[in-house]
Amino acid sequence: MNIVLFDGFCNLCSSTVLFLHKYDRHNKLFFVAQQHQSGKKIMQEYGINENANSVVFINNKKVYYQSDAVIEIARQLTGWPHIFRYSYVVPKFLRNGVYTLIAKNRYQIFGKKTTCFMPSEAIQKKFL
């Protein structure tokens, strides 16, 4: 199972989940907010720090963080977003540097929800 763990309070993260759902035409991805009980259980099971400050992608029991997670998620997508899978050609320290800069400032730039993201009925089956 391919699991995307995301920050359920982050507007950027919630919007990204909707974007990923749109381009996951083969239904390979499942989503869970890190703050949700299911997300906390998965994080504990895989030894993921609850303060990871990163999207986390679990694919075949392997855990990916930051830009590596983005690349691995892109491998699952259809359409134009799947070009992000080729980001591996950029040195990892640069990819993760940009990722960290955005992650640290995501609430200031994109805003923060007061409650955790709740999926619509149309995509609820993709949430754990």
The per-residue pLDDT for 86 is 94
CB distance 20 to 4 below 8 Å:
yes
Rounded to 5 degrees, what are φ and ψ at 33?
A: -75, 140
Q: Could you give the number of structural domains in the chain?
A: 1
CB distance 3 to 58 below 8 Å:
yes
CA dihedral 110, 112, 113, 119 (to 10 degrees): 50
Per-residue pLDDT of the chain (128 residues; tens, 9 = 90+): 899 999 999 999 989 999 999 999 999 999 999 999 999 999 999 999 887 788 999 999 999 999 999 999 999 999 999 999 999 999 999 999 999 999 999 999 899 888 777 777 778 888 88
86 contact partners, CB below 8 Å, separation of at least 6? none
- The number of residues in the chain equals 128
The per-residue pLDDT for 1 is 86
Instruction: State the residue range of the domain holding 36.
Output: 2-126
DSSP-derived 3-state class of residue 121: coil
Predicted model pTM: 0.89
